[in-house]
Structure 1
Amino acid sequence: MTTVLERSGAAPINTSPTQLDAMVIGAGVAGLYQLHRMREMGLKVRAYDTASGVGGTWYWNRYPGARFDSQAEIYQYWFSESLYKTWKPSERFPAQAETEQWLNFVADKLDLKKDIQFNTRIVSAHYQEDSGRWLVTTEAGERIDTQYLLACCGMLSAPLVDRFPGQSSFRGPITHTGLWPKEGIDLKGKRVAVVGTGATGIQVIQTIAREVGSLKVFTRVPQYVVPMKNPKYSKADWEQWGNRFHELKQHVRTTFSGFNFDFENKPWVELTPAERTDIMEKYWNDGSLAMWLATFPEMFFDEAVNAVVSEFVRGKMRERLRHDPRLCQILIPGPKDYGFGTHRVPLENGYLEVYLQDNVEPIDCRKTAIERIVPEGIQTSDGTVHEVDVIILAVGFDAGSGALSRIDIRGRGGRSLKDQWSQEIRTTMGLQVHGYPNLFTTGAPLAPSAALCNMTTCLQQQVDWISECIAYARRNGKHTIEATQRWRITGCSTTTRPPPPRWW
């Protein structure tokens, strides 16, 4: 078996702890900005990352077809007009390599890399009550003593790797999409299995289908999908966006989801059925997440409204599948599954049409679940062994809590964050956890940056709040910042999801 299922790193061992004012975990979108803000404030700060370079999600997720679903003009840093105007994206939805290049461009322009230690895995962080500081340890044994611990670990940094019995027995390459090797994997003419049809799986499937010899797609949860329109951007196009920098900067901070579109249509009840259809057609043809986040807010709260929107999308998908009954049953969510928009909606480019190819076969895991991995391939519950040469695991991440739970984080009284969250996850807006003073988090559980947000908008807001909170404490001679128990309880009780539960 050839496998790429681990992340490792090493750093020199030091005998005495490195003394810092602030330590940042992660060098992705949030980590780079957090490092920049701390340096601007004059703090002695250093960032640490398991990877060998900056990028976070965009460093690791280099699988075929990887790209983001936010338009390039808003997937941006807003603290620098110069950075915005200087970097010129090549298309509306740039691919992974270009996004990684952009983050390297930002890091180089701000000279951030000199304060980042790469190839370093954090294994523990213990709060020292006598000093009010955090003692952090790396996998190599290096120790860091810091007042503020700023965990910008990312929502997609803890891949779910060991999903099926027998993975180590497979005799070909097997890899998680979040750990795709830099050198790539030769798929040409091979028998390939993709497990999972979330946003990542969809991108992989539509990209490799014409290259592989045969493709078996193991799907359990069908997805509502929206076609992506991805025009190229010229220099003139970007100059136009650059001229709107200040307008966009203000606007994305006020919209429902941090995008540059919002729910601006008349209320559902004031529209005729024909007007509702016209609105859905308009946003469907936009080729972005506007179909999800700019049509009708009522679909998140009113089951009848959601049913109409969901059926509109199902109809579009049935047409593209040529009304093939088997494909429609496997690939399109039914009325009893879940409603459109209650999961993050994948954008795609020719994904459904892939299943019309003779070399592509979907396997419905709701009927025949994956039982185990065997040397020849994948065995399902009906006893069938699907023989393949390569297995691609697009099975997702332990999102939100996973990255932090994989570090031995201990707060007051030695309490364990992992143990605490295994019982119940509560945070203060995803920014702090009661009992863990001076620990700040971005993209964490119960943060507003969950599935509904343009991540650069939400992450920058969180970094700004953290930075301003620390600045306030320092101005006022405060050494410790900690969320109260009262806020931990009341904050969660007033930020629940809308009913009914089965939608979500």
Structure 2
Amino acid sequence: MNATPPPATPPPATPPVDALPAVTPPLDAVVVGAGPAGLYQLHRLRELGLRTRVFEAGGDVGGTWYWNRYPGARCDIESMSYSFSFSPELDQEWVWSEKYATQPEILRYLHHVADRFSLRGDITLNTRVTRAVYDEERHLWQLSTDTGESVTTRFLVMASGCTSTVKDPGIPGADSFAGPVHHTARWPREEADFTGRRVAVIGTGSSGVQVIPLIAEQAAELTVFQRTPAYALPARNRPLTAAEVTEWKAGYPEFRAAQRRSKGGSVCEMPTRSALEVGEAERTAAYEAAWQEGLLSAILRSYTDILVNEEANETVAAFIRSKIGSIVDDPRTAERLSPRGFPFGTKRPCLDTGYYATYNKPQVTLVDLRETPIEEITPKGVRTADGREHLVDVIVHATGFDSVTGSLLAPDIVGKGGVTLREKWADGPVNQLGLVSAGFPNLFTVTGPLSPSVLTNMVVSIEQHVEWITDCVAHLRSNGITEIDATPEAEAAWTAHVAELASGTLYPAADSWYLGANVPGKPRVFLAYVGGADRYREACAASARDGYTGFTLSGPPA
């Protein structure tokens, strides 16, 4: 079955608000998405006694961990850290089995959370919100779903995820291939067997780095099509011992508090020196220690200037390229796998579990698309610019997502004055504190654009956003306020602040999905706040303390 996602269709014309049927009485809140963010937001809103519904496009809860079930899928943050902190009881009762949990284990954890806190009763599965229109007179959102249901709600929380909208590979002839086609972000529920087959994997980002070694164990031939080589660091994954788990659990209260105070949601010592202050031998020893540690953040936190100084960054990049050369037997292949032309860390680094060593297998071939780009997919395989047709039985696309903004722009969201969110964000997202975009009142985004989100431990950032939104809604209700909107002035100032901070780093030097560069036609805007989760948390808290500065509070409607 061809599982490549279909191209996006243009949004329907926007009918007037009064053409949309309403439900009486309206709900207090609707949450879009039942991944970690949606589950926690539902839990907190129900604690307020709000009538809340969650709409989830998937067949079960889990969000990205429901959809991304490809072989080798696992988190790149340690399991004991990548988990909810809001319930000390949950911390103590759940036992993680590995340093880096696999997708099935993370999904079981999220199912446990949904069941333990009795959340499923308010979650509607297999239902996608397709349209949301703001009623300015009543301060309500009117929603439509792909199942034909219409719902009215005071508050709308988009917990739809940063990596949930699949990027179309965009390769000519993609629909002509006669064999099975899979996408890592929409993997079939049944096991895909590659035994004895000729397989093509297109893409070498995080999902490609994870899936390629496991496909290579089965396939008779594996051809990897690489456009941009990835910086991949060894995971050093292993089972957790009972003693380690016990120690973690004993220290969880202090650890969780430290997570919330940290810059990235992970607890670690922060560097104090420049990479250029020390000699080469000392620097190499520090990088080697980080390489052996098996944490993505270990090398990045070795020195203060790795993400802000090109010369300092190159010392890390050269070290990693030397490691690739020591692992991969063929020098030409090793060079093709060695990233050049963009700084380390400016594209999300990957965790390697046998990735580079896979290219030493005789049945694995690397095709460098910088040398011979793909021209088309044919019924029998993949044709490259050198005229060669690579004959394969199965194609796997590991081409990633329309990240951060894709899931927010997928529905037709219509705000004040009939302006759509797509129109408002035509040149890139703008909002106040990454939470509310002016002209779209009562619409909150969890870990959306211009917040720390993808540069942090996502669970920590999710909890911070959900708790801020929940406290805000409680404040509004207790004071008889029915509408909160961002002020255009605060929105402009925050958007400029986020851009200014990013410009002081090396991040804009890479054509990455952080900038939307992987999606043709997407505005080139750095999508995350680089100032640190700690600094961001304080900015959000300060706004709330001062009566929600940067926002306009009004209502009830006349």
Alignment gaps of 5+ in structure 1 = 8-13
Residue 3 of structure 1 corresponds to which residue in structure 2? 3
- AA paired with 1:458? S
Residue 479 of structure 2 corresponds to which residue in structure 1? 476
Match of 1:66 among 27, 50, 73: 73
Match of 1:327 among 324, 333, 338: 333
Q: TM-score, normalised by structure 1?
A: 0.95
Matches within 5 A, 1:422-441: 422-441=426-445
The alpha-carbon distance between structure 1 residues 195 and 162, as it changes in their structure 2 partners (threshold 3 A), is closer
Residue 278 of structure 2 corresponds to which residue in structure 1? 271
Does structure 1 retain, via aligned residues, the 8 Å contact 2:169–2:399?
A: no
The Cα of 1:73 is off from its aligned counterpart by 0.9
- AA paired with 1:471? A
d(CA) in 2 for partners of 1:310 and 1:68?
23
Residue 468 of structure 2 corresponds to which residue in structure 1? 465
Match of 1:151 among 146, 158, 167: 158
The alpha-carbon distance between structure 1 residues 51 and 493, as it changes in their structure 2 partners (threshold 3 A), is same
Equivalent residue of 1:210, what SS? helix
1:28-51 alpha-carbon deviations (Å, 9 max, x no partner): 011100000100111111111011
d(CA) in 1 for partners of 2:397 and 2:52?
37
Match of 1:17 among 4, 15, 23: 23
1:87 is the counterpart of 2:94: yes
d(CA) in 2 for partners of 1:110 and 1:29?
13
Worse-matched range after superposition: 279-288 or 57-66: 279-288
- AA paired with 2:400? G
The alpha-carbon distance between structure 1 residues 292 and 151, as it changes in their structure 2 partners (threshold 3 A), is farther
d(CA) in 2 for partners of 1:194 and 1:176?
10
Match of 1:410 among 397, 409, 414: 414
Worse-matched range after superposition: 28-37 or 492-501: 492-501
- AA paired with 1:29? P
d(CA) in 2 for partners of 1:114 and 1:182?
24
The alpha-carbon distance between structure 1 residues 162 and 305, as it changes in their structure 2 partners (threshold 3 A), is closer
The alpha-carbon distance between structure 1 residues 162 and 286, as it changes in their structure 2 partners (threshold 3 A), is closer
Residue 10 of structure 1 corresponds to which residue in structure 2? none
d(CA) in 2 for partners of 1:15 and 1:341?
49
Q: TM-score, normalised by structure 2?
A: 0.86
The Cα of 1:100 is off from its aligned counterpart by 0.3
Residue 303 of structure 2 corresponds to which residue in structure 1? 296
The alpha-carbon distance between structure 1 residues 381 and 278, as it changes in their structure 2 partners (threshold 3 A), is same
Residue 554 of structure 2 corresponds to which residue in structure 1? none
The Cα of 1:184 is off from its aligned counterpart by 2.4
Equivalent residue of 1:238, what SS? helix
Match of 2:257 among 242, 250, 258: 250
Aligned residues: 494
Equivalent residue of 1:34, what SS? helix
Residue 446 of structure 1 corresponds to which residue in structure 2? 450
The alpha-carbon distance between structure 1 residues 362 and 494, as it changes in their structure 2 partners (threshold 3 A), is same
Equivalent residue of 2:210, what SS? helix
Equivalent residue of 2:30, what SS? strand
Does structure 1 retain, via aligned residues, the 8 Å contact 2:127–2:146?
A: yes
Residue 11 of structure 1 corresponds to which residue in structure 2? none
- AA paired with 1:467? T
Does structure 2 retain, via aligned residues, the 8 Å contact 1:50–1:120?
A: yes
The alpha-carbon distance between structure 1 residues 482 and 16, as it changes in their structure 2 partners (threshold 3 A), is closer
d(CA) in 1 for partners of 2:21 and 2:492?
41
Residue 378 of structure 2 corresponds to which residue in structure 1? 374
The Cα of 1:275 is off from its aligned counterpart by 2.6
1:431-466 alpha-carbon deviations (Å, 9 max, x no partner): 11111000000121212112x211111111111111
Residue 84 of structure 2 corresponds to which residue in structure 1? 77
Equivalent residue of 2:53, what SS? strand
Does structure 1 retain, via aligned residues, the 8 Å contact 2:181–2:394?
A: yes
Residue 236 of structure 2 corresponds to which residue in structure 1? 229
d(CA) in 1 for partners of 2:226 and 2:312?
27
Equivalent residue of 2:484, what SS? coil
The alpha-carbon distance between structure 1 residues 459 and 382, as it changes in their structure 2 partners (threshold 3 A), is same
- AA paired with 1:484? T
The Cα of 1:429 is off from its aligned counterpart by 2.9
Matches within 5 A, 1:316-395: 316-322=323-329, 324-334=330-340, 337-395=341-399
1:50-74 alpha-carbon deviations (Å, 9 max, x no partner): 1111100000000011000010111
Worse-matched range after superposition: 252-261 or 208-217: 252-261
- AA paired with 2:484? I
Worse-matched range after superposition: 276-285 or 209-218: 276-285
The Cα of 1:269 is off from its aligned counterpart by 5.2
d(CA) in 1 for partners of 2:505 and 2:259?
27
Does structure 1 retain, via aligned residues, the 8 Å contact 2:28–2:52?
A: yes
Match of 2:290 among 280, 283, 304: 283
Match of 2:210 among 199, 203, 216: 203
Q: Percent identity over the alignment?
A: 39
- AA paired with 2:173? G
Does structure 1 retain, via aligned residues, the 8 Å contact 2:129–2:144?
A: yes
Structure 1 outlier segments of 4+, above 6 Å: none
